[in-house]
Amino acid sequence: MIAAAPIRKLAQVVADAIAAGEVIERPASVLKELVENALDAGASRIDIAIEGGGLVRILVADDGAGIAEDDLELAVERHATSKIAVADDITRVQTLGFRGEALASIAAVSELRLTTRTRGSAGGATLHVRSGHVVSRGAAASGPGTRVEVCELFATSPARLRFLRSVATEGSAAVRVAADLAITHPEVVFTCTNDGRMVLRTAGGTLRDAIRAVIGARAERDLLDLDAPGSIAVGGAISSPHAHRASRSGLVLIVNRRLVHNRALLAAVDESYRGLIPGGRHGYGVVSVEVSGAALDVNVHPAKREVRFSDERAVFSAVQRACWVALRAAPALGASGYAPSGFANGGLEVRESDVAVVGQVMPQLTHNAGGLSADVGARTPGAASTLPAMDALGQAASGFLVATAGDAVVLVDPHAAHEKVLYMELLARWHQHAPEASGSQLLLMPVVVECGPDRASRVADEHDFFSRCGFTIEQFGPGAVRCTAVPLTAAGADPELLVADLIERLDDHDAGTEDRRHRLAALVACHAAVRFGDRLDVVAQQRLLDQLVATPGGTTCPHGRPSVLILDDATLRRAFRRPAR
Ligand code: ADP
Ligand code: MG
């Protein structure tokens, strides 16, 4: 249990050593400071109320250590803190706050009421401050803990108000802060109401519990747990490849239980999705990193949002590796993750749950594909197909293939299907260790790609890796590379585009060979696969379907999108209002 430590006014030298700056910009920043104080006070329960976007009222009540009665006025004075005493303490700081500025800054621009009781004391005390001036103080009935009420925020600072967004936006930004803090402190019970409506409630448990409480029902379906212990430990949960979003804002980064912004780590997460989700889309979830305090500098940003690592590269790699491991283990996309929206509107009513998209084996249809065509190459031994054998019927003008499988009708995305076939083929080839097994094809015309000296020398460094994957690619002058051979599988690709893309996506950070192989395979497959709109004659259609059936995990493309849609007999009967058989 944390006892209330005495609050001291920091000496000017210590105050000066602390990164200065305005921390109170909007209601959300007030909420953040108040909740962080509650956490620093060892609270096990924090109740939050937001009204009028936080401009009317923000209330944070905790059951923490409380503030000693004699310290009440000091608490709202600038540079008064119980958390550090000398400048050196800053480097060891374990608490979320330490600048002793927040309450003073908030009190200066609002009407603030502080009611508190320390565990040992008989009664509580309260202090009322308006625009930085003490209005009153006195005894008050209070349970152990602290209750801070901030009303009329910025009412006397019209300049500040002008920079705020709508009440709804400010309110939801504040709720977001509460949710983020609930995740950084999963063992604490959090509740939060916004204009009287309960918007957040965590039970106080593990990180997993808190993430699920905050994200809600989607979490169960979307999230993959991260679990990489070590000197740089990575935990949390990120969305599986089918659940990407348009912006990065759904990704929460936590470092040593602090919410942080860190471009490099965001990039590390993004990078691990590369090849798994469409370009420009992002995963969401929570990535939590634990490093030893010595490897971290938190005193970079006044609101403590930025952190600096002594070895950022190592942290980057650890995050990327952890994400990649989780993503690779992602189960194939379930039918519920994919809404065949076009179907729902027409005369046919096909509910999402009716449609077997992926990984759903229909026992009566499943049988092993005998006709493994010669050019498919080796397969992962023992991996069973999850698709029934299919007979091609034709290709819709839009590009989709139509097939039957027993009494089911199957629609196939030819690009996604071919991509997956090629991807698995490449991986299988690269796993056969003999060098020639990679299967390389010399280009009639070598391609030269200008890429600048940095990238060119990176390509040179990677020469061995590429040649083991079937590329012959070398530096060609100071700022260009030349490619003279590509993997057999890439024979259908435009080599110039492929090599340019490959260089573009060279990692700056060292992922494991296995990760890089997967990514390279996805890239090559994407380039070499038939385009979605390409016309395929019926022989090519059938060959592709056979290959897909023989491919483990053939129900999704390497990026996790579905490659097939199976309308089984029962579904069709339901749709056509025919009695079930
Ligand atoms: P800092 O958190 O940087 O120390 P603040 O201005 O946020 O500065 O708070 C000043 C001091 O008031 C803290 O150091 C702490 O001693 C006390 N305090 C503020 N909020 C609480 C709380 N909820 N419970 C206990 N003590 C608190
Ligand atoms: Mg504080």
Q: What is the pLDDT of residue 57?
A: 97
The answer to whether the CB of 555 is under 6 A from ligand 1 is no
Q: Do 59 and 49 touch, CB atoms closer than 8 A?
A: yes
Ligand nearest to the CA of 106: 1
Ligand nearest to the CA of 148: 1
Q: What is the pLDDT of residue 577?
A: 87
In this structure, the number of other CB atoms found within 10 A of the CB of residue 361 comes to 14
Distances (CA, A) of 317 to 283, 293, 509: 17, 19, 7
Query: In terms of pLDDT, which residue wins out, 293 or 461?
Result: 461
CA 108, distance to chain mean position in Å, is: 37
Strand, coil or helix: 240: coil
The answer to whether the CB of 98 is under 6 A from ligand 1 is yes
Q: What is the pLDDT of residue 494?
A: 87
Using pLDDT thresholds of 50, 70 and 90, give the confidence band for residue 359. very low
Q: What is the pLDDT of residue 331?
A: 59
Q: Do 72 and 63 touch, CB atoms closer than 8 A?
A: no
pLDDT, mean of residues 438-454: 83
Q: Angle, to 10 degrees, between the axis of helix 207-215 and the axis of helix 167-184?
A: 160
Residues lining ion ligand 2 (Cβ < 5 A) are 37, 97, 102
Using pLDDT thresholds of 50, 70 and 90, give the confidence band for residue 344. very low
pLDDT in tens, 520-531: 888 899 888 998
Does 351 score more than 60 pLDDT?
Answer: no
Distance from residue 301's CA to the centre of ligand 1 (Å): 19
* Cα gap 217→280, rounded to integer Å: 25
Q: What is the pLDDT of residue 192?
A: 95
Ligand 1, atom 8, lies closest to the CA of 100
- Across all residues in the chain, what is the average pLDDT? 81
Q: Do 426 and 561 touch, CB atoms closer than 8 A?
A: no
Mutate to test the pocket of ligand 1, among 2, 14, 33, 40 (most ligand atoms within 8 A of CB): 40
* Cα gap 287→213, rounded to integer Å: 16
Q: What is the pLDDT of residue 469?
A: 86
pLDDT in tens, 167-181: 999 999 999 999 999
Distance from residue 179's CA to the centre of ligand 2 (Å): 18
Q: Which of 351, 387, 306, 376 is closest to 563 using CA atoms?
A: 387
Using pLDDT thresholds of 50, 70 and 90, give the confidence band for residue 383. very low
* Cα gap 552→571, rounded to integer Å: 25
Looking at this protein, which amino acid is placed at residue 493? A
User: What is the residue-wise DSSP string for 346-410?
Assistant: SSS---GGG-B-SS---TTT--------GGG----TTPPP-S---EEEEE-TTS-EEEEETTEEE
Does 437 score more than 80 pLDDT?
Answer: no
Does 95 score more than 80 pLDDT?
Answer: no
Q: What is the pLDDT of residue 438?
A: 60
Mutate to test the pocket of ligand 1, among 81, 114, 129, 185 (most ligand atoms within 8 A of CB): 81
Q: Which of 198, 236, 261, 190 is closest to 45 using CA atoms?
A: 190
pLDDT in tens, 551-579: 877 777 887 778 888 898 888 888 898 88
Does 304 score more than 90 pLDDT?
Answer: no
Tokens 């969401």 — which residue? 284
**Rg of the chain over CA atoms, in angstroms?**
29
* Cα gap 471→364, rounded to integer Å: 43
pLDDT in tens, 216-263: 777 877 899 999 999 999 999 999 887 888 888 889 999 988 888 888
Measured at the alpha carbon of residue 62, what is the angle toward residues 59 and 65, in degrees to the nearest 5?
Answer: 135
Q: What is the pLDDT of residue 287?
A: 95
pLDDT in tens, 149-198: 999 999 888 878 888 888 999 999 999 999 999 999 999 999 999 999 99
The answer to whether the CB of 149 is under 6 A from ligand 1 is no
Using pLDDT thresholds of 50, 70 and 90, give the confidence band for residue 378. very low
Of the chain, the end-to-end C-alpha distance in Å amounts to 66
Q: Which of 561, 519, 567 is closest to 333 using CA atoms?
A: 561
pLDDT in tens, 312-338: 889 999 999 999 888 877 754 433 333
* Cα gap 186→198, rounded to integer Å: 18
pLDDT in tens, 14-69: 555 454 445 688 999 999 999 999 999 999 999 999 999 999 999 999 999 999 99
Measured from the CA of 105, which atom of ligand 1 is nearest?
6
Q: Do 402 and 393 touch, CB atoms closer than 8 A?
A: yes
In the sheet with 57-62, reading across from the earlier edge strand, the strands are 133-140, 124-130, 111-117, 145-151, 57-62, 45-51, 189-194, 197-201
Q: By percentage, how much of the chain surpasses pLDDT 90?
A: 37
The answer to whether the CB of 97 is under 6 A from ligand 1 is yes
Does 85 score more than 80 pLDDT?
Answer: no
Q: What is the pLDDT of residue 1?
A: 61
Question: What is the SS3 assignment for 154-198?
Answer: CCCCHHHHHCCCCHHHHHHHHHHHHHHHHHHCCCCEEEEEECCEE
Looking at this protein, which amino acid is placed at residue 181? L
Q: What is the pLDDT of residue 350?
A: 40
21 Cβ contact partners less than 8 Å away, ≥ 6 residues apart: 301, 302, 303
Structure tokens at 85: 């005493």
Q: By percentage, how much of the chain surpasses pLDDT 70?
A: 83
The answer to whether the CB of 115 is under 6 A from ligand 1 is no
Q: Which of 120, 102, 92, 89 is closest to 1 using CA atoms?
A: 120
Query: In terms of pLDDT, which residue wins out, 514 or 134?
Result: 134
* Cα gap 2→61, rounded to integer Å: 16
Q: Angle, to 10 degrees, between the axis of helix 27-40 and the axis of helix 167-184?
A: 20
Q: What is the pLDDT of residue 440?
A: 83
Q: What is the pLDDT of residue 60?
A: 98
Does 138 score more than 90 pLDDT?
Answer: yes
Ligand nearest to the CA of 7: 1
Query: In terms of pLDDT, which residue wins out, 359 or 19?
Result: 19
Looking at this protein, which amino acid is placed at residue 192? C
Distances (CA, A) of 410 to 177, 571, 578: 46, 12, 19
* Cα gap 116→72, rounded to integer Å: 9
* Cα gap 346→94, rounded to integer Å: 59
Does 453 score more than 80 pLDDT?
Answer: yes
Mutate to test the pocket of ligand 1, among 1, 35, 37 (most ligand atoms within 8 A of CB): 37
DSSP 97: -
The answer to whether the CB of 33 is under 6 A from ligand 1 is yes
Using pLDDT thresholds of 50, 70 and 90, give the confidence band for residue 340. very low
Residue ranges with strand state E in 406-536: 408-412, 440-450, 472-475, 480-487
Distance from residue 143's CA to the centre of ligand 1 (Å): 18
Distance from residue 494's CA to the centre of ligand 1 (Å): 63
The answer to whether the CB of 103 is under 6 A from ligand 1 is yes
Does 386 score more than 70 pLDDT?
Answer: no
Distance from residue 540's CA to the centre of ligand 2 (Å): 67
Q: What is the pLDDT of residue 191?
A: 96
